[in-house]
Amino acid sequence: MLQTYRDVLARPGALGFSSTGVVARLPMSMVGIGIVLMVEALYGSYGLAGRVSAVFVVAQAVCSPQIARLVDRHGQARVMRPAVLVSAAGIVLLVVAATSRAHPVWLYVSAVLAGATIGSFGALVRARWTHALGDDPRRVHTAFSLESALDELVFVVGPVLATLLATSVAPAAGLVVPVVAMVLGGLAFLAQRRTEPPPTGTLPAAERPRGSVLRSPGMVVLVVVFVAMGAIFGATDVSTVAFAEEVGRPGLAGPVLAVFALGSLLSGLLYGARHWTSPLHRRFALGVIALAVGVCAFFLAQSLAVLAIVMFVVGFAIAPSLVNGNALVQGLVPAGRLTEGLTWVSTALGVGVSVGSSVAGARIDAGGAHAGFLVVVVSGAAALVATLVALPVLRPRPGATAPAEDVRRVEDLSTSATGGATVAACESASQAAPRPGEG
């Protein structure tokens, strides 16, 4: 299995942009929870902390696809260099405002500035892999699955590091590392121009993609499904925190959630080491079915040990579902709009996390942890129904990102969510929700 990954990393420049891309992605797993921990500690309000974090997430969700469209048109370095610096400045401004106990309006303004310009480095990395390995679908599949595993690693390490810094060093310390990672890792990634995909702005006007990628019915379906999957992750995080508190072991909530991510990490590596020939949209549907059915067992768990075991097993459905869902984007959007398409599903996942954690938090206040797990089950059912009802429109259209005569090659390209945002956003969203008895 390791040799498979060594082969793709041996490509010229691959190790460089993949490794710096990991560092540049640390903010997506640290900023949200860092905001919550800092604002709550300095202002004494989880409500305000949750609102500021939500403003950051919404600004990112609204603006990241627009930034991605500019990236596709003008190039990664040209667009993202100033965006990285502005986003970093926004986080610094947020820290200054919070530590000086400024009026909350300055917190909101800073959060908007930071979220609106942070973009999605996960999409940028995968666009580079497509450019570097586009002639070999099997290796693209392996490379993107590697990125899925690296995402999960970021999502496990980031929230723990942010929490440790904020609680043991200083309330604002949890935001220092993501700012440094964003600037150093991001600029180092963008400095590698040889592996950067060519911008579509260099094409003749008649050949440039036009209109929104959401004109594709399949893309709309993917966005809806990813919102529902994000709600699964957000509600799971809040409910796990609440359940751990109910059984008197609040300190075990983090390890249990880490087990969930570990199952996904392992499945991502195993999934990427094998070449799949079955239709991609069917594999995506099977993954969503497994995830939706599996989370029903969360509702039945009566101990943290059982919950951890179930989460580890169900975690194996996460990475393949996200990999296949993002891979479908390649068959649904024009080649020159790939970054934008990947960013749409990534931000949809983040929005779902916020919605799921908020709804679950409210239900937990009213009926305890298992009421939150019921939100998880409902979210899984929503993802399942949307996938099965609209499955025909998820078939990649010929000519989207590969020759029409070889659609099967397109279906074997797999990528991961950025996201990212899954476990990290879950952590931040859960902290933003009211504490049970805490999005």
What does the DSSP assignment read for 280-321?
Answer: HHHHHHHHHHHHHHHHGGGGG--SHHHHHHHHHHHHTTHHHH
Burial class (CB in 10 A: 0-12, 13-18, 19+), 196: buried
Structure-token pair, residue 197: 């995909």
Residue 262 dihedral angles phi and psi, to the nearest 5°: -65, -40
Looking at every residue in the chain, the average pLDDT score rounds to: 81
pLDDT over 90 at 164, yes or no: no
Residue 350 dihedral angles phi and psi, to the nearest 5°: -65, -40
- Which of the four pLDDT bands, split at 50, 70 and 90, describes residue 180? very high
Report the pLDDT value the prediction gives residue 201, as an integer from 0 to 100. Answer: 66
Report the pLDDT value the prediction gives residue 426, as an integer from 0 to 100. Answer: 37
Task: Tell me which of 116 and 1 has the higher pLDDT.
Answer: 116
Q: Furthest-apart CA pair in the chain: how many Å?
A: 64
Domains of the chain listed by start with CATH number = 17-199+213-432 (1.20.1250.20)
Which has the minimum average pLDDT: 84-88, 100-104, 397-401?
397-401
Report the pLDDT value the prediction gives residue 210, as an integer from 0 to 100. Answer: 57
pLDDT over 70 at 1, yes or no: no
Structure-token pair, residue 85: 């610096």
pLDDT over 60 at 313, yes or no: yes
Share of the chain above pLDDT 90, in %: 33
Report the pLDDT value the prediction gives residue 424, as an integer from 0 to 100. Answer: 37
Residues 6+ apart with CB under 8 A from 15: 9
How many Cα atoms sit within 13 Å of 135 on the Cβ side? 2
Task: Tell me which of 271 and 200 has the higher pLDDT.
Answer: 271
Mean pLDDT of 173-184: 93
Structure-token pair, residue 384: 């399942």
> What 8-state DSSP symbol labels residue 397?
P
Task: Tell me which of 52 and 157 has the higher pLDDT.
Answer: 52
Mean pLDDT of 277-286: 89
| pLDDT, tens only, 96-114 | 999 999 999 999 999 999 9
Among candidates 188, 79, 136, 403, which has minimal Cα distance to 144? 136
> What 8-state DSSP symbol labels residue 184?
I
Report the pLDDT value the prediction gives residue 319, as an integer from 0 to 100. Answer: 85
- Pair 120, 346: CB distance under 8 Å: yes
Annotate 242-277 with b (16+ C-beta within 10 A) or e (fewer): bbbbbeeeeebbbebbbbbbbbbbbbbbebbbeebe
- Pair 118, 64: CB distance under 8 Å: yes
- Which of the four pLDDT bands, split at 50, 70 and 90, describes residue 228? very high
Task: Please give the Cα distance from 146 to 270 (Å, whole number).
Answer: 10
Q: Residue 402 in 3-state DSSP?
A: coil
Mean pLDDT of 77-96: 96
How many Cα atoms sit within 13 Å of 270 on the Cβ side? 12
Report the pLDDT value the prediction gives residue 429, as an integer from 0 to 100. Answer: 38
Task: Please give the Cα distance from 298 to 273 (Å, whole number).
Answer: 29
Mean pLDDT of 380-399: 82
Containing 417, the helix (H) or strand (E) segment is none
Mean pLDDT of 285-289: 94
- Which of the four pLDDT bands, split at 50, 70 and 90, describes residue 425? very low
Report the pLDDT value the prediction gives residue 405, as an integer from 0 to 100. Answer: 30
pLDDT over 80 at 183, yes or no: yes
What share of residues in the chain are helix, strand, coil (percent, to 5)? Answer: 80, 0, 20
Report the pLDDT value the prediction gives residue 208, as an integer from 0 to 100. Answer: 53
- Which of the four pLDDT bands, split at 50, 70 and 90, describes residue 413? very low
pLDDT over 80 at 47, yes or no: no
A 10 A CB-CB count for 187 gives: 17
Report the pLDDT value the prediction gives residue 334, as an integer from 0 to 100. Answer: 79
Task: Please give the Cα distance from 298 to 435 (Å, whole number).
Answer: 20
pLDDT over 60 at 312, yes or no: yes
Range among 47-61, 97-111, 297-311, 316-330 with highest mean pLDDT value: 97-111
- Pair 360, 337: CB distance under 8 Å: no
Among candidates 139, 197, 132, 225, which has minimal Cα distance to 339? 197
CA distances to 320, 389, 427 from 156, rounded to whole Å, are: 18, 33, 10
> What 8-state DSSP symbol labels residue 216?
S
- Pair 345, 415: CB distance under 8 Å: no
pLDDT over 90 at 402, yes or no: no
Report the pLDDT value the prediction gives residue 306, as an integer from 0 to 100. Answer: 93
CA distances to 11, 174, 405 from 391, rounded to whole Å, are: 35, 42, 22
Report the pLDDT value the prediction gives residue 350, as an integer from 0 to 100. Answer: 75
pLDDT over 70 at 209, yes or no: no
Task: Please give the Cα distance from 294 to 314 (Å, whole number).
Answer: 5
Report the pLDDT value the prediction gives residue 203, as an integer from 0 to 100. Answer: 52
A 10 A CB-CB count for 64 gives: 25
Report the pLDDT value the prediction gives residue 300, as an integer from 0 to 100. Answer: 86
Containing 97, the helix (H) or strand (E) segment is helix 76-99
